[in-house]
Structures are given as structure tokens and as C-alpha cells.
């Protein structure tokens, strides 16, 4: 089985829009949204390929209406692709989501993608009247409907969790023939198999550890796609996760560490758990055989190339702004990703 390893490797960043205390200061919603728009403009001007925003429905995030923020970004950028870094389709109406992203595609003149998944937080289930005991069935049914909407303008459909559609006209239609669709996969083998079986791109979320420990997920994905008869050259895998790039690896850890601690400390505390890692323990993770994408441009490029050999992926997206990282530091990291990391990776792949 030959897996396509595209020479056009893409780079991007994403934001979850969290607004958690940083040295007792909490950014306002307006400030945080403006910051995300500015990040997207920076990424566009630097020549990155894609910018994403994740959906959350909590007061410590500003991304409940993430498609609207992306629409604002569409009018402030000209080249960069725009995507959800995760749309929690399990608790949303697929028709509404499709309409929003088709409209975004018209606004951006064909620069829209969407990543759908089940999400890491569960607040949206009770908020939108979805029963957690149907966690898997909700996702499967709503994904099936979304994919049906992609195929036909007039749709007849019936399911368990939504009222039926009877030759219903779904509009607007996107600028592109179809919205590029990805399924977000964490550590669940069944999710990887589903994405492959359906012939949908896979967005693999990786946070830490050794990439060999998750290689089985991409192996399952490619095998399921092959068994289902899909053209592997038309499918893509992306790797997303926490990231930061600085001039040196030491500087990267120094600037990343306090925000990493702030981010995980905050969310682990609300679950009744303490989080602590030493700054010294992050330095060994700069090596190529570790997932956490923090280091110099050369170190991060080596990580991506190492993972490419394992996963056959063709896109990397990093979360640079986590835990209150300053916009000035994010801008420097974007510049390094676009102008140092990307050329190293692309040149190395071109030689192969």
C-alpha cells in the first residue's frame, strides 16, 4: 500500500481563544477576539497556509460563535485558508453548520475548510439538549448528514436525533464545489478507522510523548481508507498540537514554559488535579523523537520530518498563543515557522 506523501507540505496555526488568568490579569472578550484576528493577519502576511479557531461554549473561551470570528478574519486576509480547528458537530445542527461554513467560503472566495469532531469539553451537550449517553451515535449520525449536504443541494434524509428533511433545498452553496472536510482524532482507534473508511482527511491532535506511540492511529487510518477503496493520494493527515518556536531551543522553552504551566494548571485545577512539570524536563522534549513542537526552527523542522516518515502527514498546525503568550512573541514564532521551519521541511521533502 503506497501512502501519498505530498510535496506541498502546509503550515498553519490555530487558537482556542481561551481567556484564563495570567498573573491575575484576564483579557476581555473584545481584546481576545481582536488578538485572534491580528494573529490571523500576521499568519496571512507571513505566508502561512491555514489558520484555525476551535469551538468552545464556556465563559473562559471567546469562541462560541467561532464561524463569525472566522468571517471577520476572512475580510481582513487574502490568501490564508480558514478552518475550524474543531467543530463540535455532535451538539450542533449539521444544516446550520453547513450554512455557516458555506457562507464563510463565499466571503473568503474559496478559502474555507472544516474539521469536525466530538471535542474535549462536554458543556455543549447540556447547553444544546444533547444526551451524553448517545455520545457516539450523535456524532456518527450528524457527520453522515453533513456529508450528505456536501453532495446534494436538495436533500431527503431521516435520522434519530433530528427532524427529517424532505427534498429540502440547502443554501447557500459554497464557493468551492465541496468544503474540504477533516475529522479530528485524539487517541481513539475507532475514530481513525472511521475517518479512513469514510475517505475523509484526518486531523490528528498530538500533545506530548513519543510519536511512535500514536503511529498505530495513522496506520489504521491509511489501512481503512485503502480497504474501503479510496484513492490515498487524495487523502491527507495533519498533525496539530501545542507549539512554540524561538531563535534557540533554550529561548523557546524559557518563553513557552510559564504559559504552558498556566494553561494546564488552570484546566487541571478545575478537575481537582494538580499539574506540574519542571522547566528542565521540557528541554529533552526538544529532540526530534518527541511530539511537543517547542524549540528552535531547526529542532521543530526535524520533529516534523521525523513524524512525516511515521505518519505520511502533509500539514502541521501549532497552537502558539496558549496560556496568555504575548502577541509579540506569537508574531516572532509565526515568522520563524513561515520563514525558517517551512523552508527546511519543504526542501528536505523535495530532495526525497
Mean pLDDT of 215-219: 98
Can you state the angle between helices 189-198 and 135-151, rounded to 10 degrees? 20
Q: Which domain does 28 fall in, by range? A: 10-351
Answer yes or no: is 239 within a domain. Answer: yes
- Other beta carbons within 10 Å of 229: 7
Mean pLDDT of 120-127: 83
Give the pLDDT confidence score for residue 268 in this predicted structure.
Answer: 86
Answer yes or no: is 320 within a domain. Answer: yes
Mean pLDDT of 193-214: 96
Give the pLDDT confidence score for residue 132 in this predicted structure.
Answer: 86
CA 232 to chain centre: 21
Predicted confidence (pLDDT) at residue 2 exceeds the cutoff of 70: no
Give the pLDDT confidence score for residue 118 in this predicted structure.
Answer: 87
Q: What is the DSSP string of 237-294?
A: EEEEEEEEEESSHHHHHHHHHHHHHHHHHHHHHTTT------HHHHGGGGSTTS--EE
Give the pLDDT confidence score for residue 148 in this predicted structure.
Answer: 97
Give the pLDDT confidence score for residue 8 in this predicted structure.
Answer: 87
Q: Quickly state the pLDDT bin for 3 (edges 50, 70, 90).
A: low
Interval 223-271: pLDDT, tens? 999 999 999 999 999 999 999 999 999 999 999 999 999 999 998 888 8
Give the pLDDT confidence score for residue 262 in this predicted structure.
Answer: 94
**CATH number for the domain harbouring residue 49:** 3.20.20.30
Under 8 Å CB-to-CB from 223, ≥6 apart: which residues?
1, 196
Answer yes or no: is 64 within a domain. Answer: yes
Mean pLDDT of 290-310: 98
Bridging pattern class, strands 50-54 and 154-157 = unpaired
End-to-end CA distance of the chain: 19
pLDDT higher at 24 or 89: 89
As a whole number of angstroms, the distance between CA 335 and CA 341 comes to 9
As a whole number of angstroms, the distance between CA 343 and CA 65 comes to 35
> Does the N-terminal peptide bond of residue 172 adopt cis geometry, omega within 30 degrees of 0?
yes
Answer yes or no: is 4 within a domain. Answer: no
Answer yes or no: is 343 within a domain. Answer: yes
Answer yes or no: is 332 within a domain. Answer: yes
Q: Quickly state the pLDDT bin for 141 (edges 50, 70, 90).
A: very high
Interval 310-336: pLDDT, tens? 999 999 999 999 999 999 999 999 999
Predicted confidence (pLDDT) at residue 5 exceeds the cutoff of 60: no
Interval 156-185: pLDDT, tens? 999 999 999 999 999 999 999 999 999 999
Q: Which three cell numbers stand for residue 196?
A: 479512513
How many domains, in total, are found in the chain? 1
Give the pLDDT confidence score for residue 338 in this predicted structure.
Answer: 98
Answer yes or no: is 5 within a domain. Answer: no
Interior angle at CA 183, CA 291 and CA 57, nearest 5? 90
Answer yes or no: is 2 within a domain. Answer: no
Give the pLDDT confidence score for residue 1 in this predicted structure.
Answer: 59
Amino acid at each position: 500500500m503506497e501512502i501519498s506523501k505530498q510535496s506541498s507540505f502546509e503550515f498553519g496555526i490555530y487558537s482556542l481563544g481561551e481567556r484564563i488568568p495570567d498573573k491575575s490579569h484576564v483579557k476581555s472578550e473584545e481584546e481576545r477576539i481582536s488578538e485572534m484576528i491580528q494573529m490571523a493577519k500576521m499568519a496571512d502576511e507571513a505566508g502561512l497556509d491555514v489558520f484555525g479557531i476551535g469551538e468552545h461554549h464556556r465563559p473562559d473561551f471567546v469562541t462560541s460563535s467561532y464561524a463569525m470570528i472566522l468571517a471577520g478574519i476572512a475580510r481582513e486576509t487574502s490568501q490564508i485558508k480558514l478552518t475550524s480547528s474543531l467543530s463540535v458537530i455532535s451538539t450542533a445542527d449539521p444544516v446550520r453548520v453547513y450554512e455557516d461554513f458555506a457562507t464563510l467560503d463565499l466571503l473568503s472566495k474559496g478559502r474555507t475548510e472544516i474539521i469536525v469532531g466530538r471535542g474535549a469539553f462536554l458543556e455543549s451537550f447540556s447547553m444544546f439538549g444533547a444526551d451524553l449517553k448517545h455520545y457516539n451515535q450523535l456524532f456518527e449520525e450528524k457527520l453522515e448528514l453533513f456529508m450528505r449536504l456536501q453532495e446534494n443541494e436538495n436533500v431527503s434524509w431521516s435520522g434519530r436525533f433530528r427532524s427529517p428533511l424532505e427534498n429540502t433545498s440547502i443554501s447557500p452553496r459554497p464557493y468551492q464545489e465541496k468544503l474540504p472536510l477533516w475529522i479530528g482524532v485524539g487517541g481513539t482507534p475507532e475514530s481513525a478507522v472511521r475517518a479512513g473508511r469514510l475517505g475523509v482527511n484526518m486531523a490528528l491532535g498530538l500533545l506530548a510523548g513519543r510519536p511512535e506511540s500514536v503511529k498505530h492511529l495513522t496506520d489504521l487510518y491509511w489501512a481503512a481508507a485503502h480497504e474501503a477503496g479510496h484513492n490515498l493520494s487524495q487523502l491527507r493527515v495533519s498533525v496539530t498540537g501545542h507549539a512554540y518556536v524561538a531563535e534557540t531551543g533554550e529561548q523557546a522553552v524559557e518563553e513557552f514554559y510559564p504559559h504552558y504551566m498556566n494553561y494546564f494548571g488552570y484546566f487541571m485545577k478545575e478537575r481537582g488535579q494538580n499539574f506540574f512539570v519542571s522547566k528542565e524536563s521540557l528541554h529533552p522534549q526538544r529532540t526530534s523523537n518527541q511530539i511537543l513542537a517547542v524549540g528552535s526552527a531547526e529542532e521543530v523542522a526535524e520533529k516534523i520530518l521525523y513524524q512525516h516518515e511515521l505518519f505520511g502527514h502533509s500539514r502541521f498546525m501549532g497552537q502558539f498563543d496558549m496560556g496568555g503568550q504575548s502577541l509579540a512573541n506569537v508574531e516572532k514564532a509565526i515568522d520563524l515557522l513561515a520563514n525558517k521551519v517551512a523552508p527546511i521541511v519543504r526542501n528536505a521533502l523535495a530532495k526525497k
